[in-house]
Amino acid sequence: MEKRGTYQQYLNRFGWKCVAPSMVLFCVFMLYPILSSLYYVTRRWKGMTNTFIGLGNFVRMAHDQVFQAAIGHNFLFMFIQVPLMIFLALILAVLLNQGIRHFRGPIRLAIFLPSVTSLVVVSVLFRVLLQANGMLNNVLLGAHLISTPIGWLNDSGWAKVTIILAMTWRWTGYNMVFFLVGLQSIDTEIYEAAEVDGASKVRQFFNITIPLLVPVILFSAVTSTSGTMQLFDEPNILTWQGGPANATMTAALYIYRQAFFVNADFGYATAMSYIVVLISGIFAVVQMRLLGDRRSK
């Protein structure tokens, strides 16, 4: 009896030893920053000095229209780009799944290719392509689809479109592969039965494919929305610091600017990051609930 006890303890201790290195790193690089952020959030920083201002940073946020607009942009990208991309990825996956056997591999490879690029590369490439006198405008002008060059990077409205374009290009193939895996686990007999019942292809898509793919779609949605809340590389590089005139400013970029540019106000930046975490958390919980509900069905 005692012997087993100590053996269990021995195993348990070994378990802790296994986990220890990662826990040390976790405490230093995740736990400590989270805890020390509590120190920053109630202070206002200017240069090397800081003063205690209680909840002043949060009050300031309530009046800060740039921050609110930035969050608004995150939401805009989330609610437009994510559904658009998922829809595209879904269509492509379905078409690919039903298509000609031979070409499936190369086509899947080609469409997945953008996912190997970094967000920096995407931003750099698109920024060059979408200059006012750059390739895309030249092509559109040449094909007489437009008469004056589009200000992809200069115009507040088009700049948002530019971000959406870049993100869609980068992530559609990635999500398509998710969906392909999901599609391949659907039993063909279901389709054949529906075929016999006289259901059209479109009806099959909406009534069979989509409901069965919901777990994968939701997983895609969860990862994509958390990605959009963190949007930084593209507005930083592609539209140059959230331009033009803050039209593509995002929460993460604004926080970075407040912390490392003009005012170096770490307190305000930390307070804003709390709000971003809160929003991310709410979205995650909502989506988990949806995912959980579907699962239990």
Partner 1 sequence: MSVVRNWSGGRVVSLLVLLLAVVVSVFPFLWMLVGMTLNPNDVLRGILTPGKEFVSNWEKATRNYNLLLFFWNSIKIALLTVFFGLIVNSIAAYGFEKYPSKARDRVFGILLLTLIIPQIAIVIPMFRMFAFFKLLDTHAAIILPSIMSVFIIFFMRQNFKMFPTEIMEAARVDGAGEFYTFLRIVSPSMQATYASGAIYLFIGQWNSYLWPLITILTDAGKTLPIAMASMMNAYTIEYGALMVIVCISVLPVLVLFLSMQKQFVAGLLGSVK
Partner 2 sequence: MRKGLTLALALLAALALTVGTFTSCGKAMTNKVTVWCWDPNFNVYSMKQAAAVYNKAHPNVNIEIVDMAQDIEAKIISGLQANGAGLPDIALFQDFRIEQFLHDYPKAFVDLKAAGVDYTKFAPYKVGPMTVGNSIYGIPFDTGSTGLWLRTDYIKQAGLNPDDYYGKNLKWADIIKLGVAVKAKTGKPLLAYQSDNFDMLRIVVQSTGGQFFNPDGSLNLRSDAFKKSLALFKELNDKGLLYQVVGWSDWINAINSDQSAGFLNAIWMVGSVKSRPENKGKYMVIPTPLIEGVSGAANASNNGGSSWYVFSSSPNKARAVDFLKSVWATSTPDNLAFYNTILKGAGAMGTYLPSQSGSNYTAADDFFYKSQPVYKDFAAWMTNVPVLKYTPNYVPMRDAVAHATLNYFQGKLKSIDDTITAAEAEYKQVMGQ
Q: Which does 156 bind (CB under 5 to 8 A by kind): partner 1, partner 2, none?
A: partner 2
Q: How far is the CB of 136 from partner 2 (least distance, A)?
A: 15
Looking at the Cβ atoms of 61 and 194, the one nearer to partner 2 is 61
Q: How far is the CB of 279 from partner 1 (least distance, A)?
A: 9
**Which residue from 69, 125, 141, 290 is in contact with partner 1, where contact means CB under 8 A?**
125
Looking at the Cβ atoms of 28 and 132, the one nearer to partner 2 is 132
For the window 52-81, what string marks contact with partner 1 as x by the rule CB under 8 A? ------------------------------
For the window 83-122, what string marks contact with partner 1 as x by the rule CB under 8 A? --------xx--xxxxxxx-----x-xxxxxxxxxxxxx-
Q: Which does 72 bind (CB under 5 to 8 A by kind): partner 2, partner 1, none?
A: none
Query: Taking CB under 8 A as the rule, does residue 268 contact partner 2?
Result: yes
Helix axes 266-296, 56-63, angle to 10 degrees: 80
Please classify residue 101 by burial: count the beta carbons closer than 10 Å to its beta carbon, then call 0-12 exposed, 13-18 middle and 19+ buried.
Answer: exposed
Give the span between the Cα atoms of 62 and 274, in whole angstroms: 14
Nearest by Cα to 168 from 108, 80, 236, 105: 80
Helix axes 65-98, 101-112, angle to 10 degrees: 160
Interface positions, 202-261, toward partner 1 (CB under 8 A): 216, 219, 226, 229-230, 232-233, 236-237, 251-252, 255-256, 259-260
Give residue 40's Cα distance to chain centre: 27
What count of other Cβ atoms lies within 10 Å of the Cβ of residue 133?
8
**Which residue from 138, 261, 292, 294 is in contact with partner 1, where contact means CB under 8 A?**
138
The interface region with partner 1, picked from 46-54, 61-69, 153-161, 190-198 by CB under 8 A, is 190-198
For the window 49-88, what string marks contact with partner 2 as x by the rule CB under 8 A? -----------x--xxxx----------------------
* Cα dist from 141 to 145, 148, 158, whole Å: 6, 7, 17
Residue type, 297: K
> Are 43 and 276 a contacting pair, CB within 8 Å?
no
* Cα dist from 129 to 12, 67, 192, whole Å: 58, 29, 46
Nearest by Cα to 80 from 175, 178, 160: 160
Q: How far is the CB of 291 from partner 2 (least distance, A)?
A: 38
What count of other Cβ atoms lies within 10 Å of the Cβ of residue 25?
11
Q: Which does 261 bind (CB under 5 to 8 A by kind): partner 1, partner 2, none?
A: partner 2
**Which residue from 34, 187, 262, 296 is in contact with partner 2, where contact means CB under 8 A?**
262
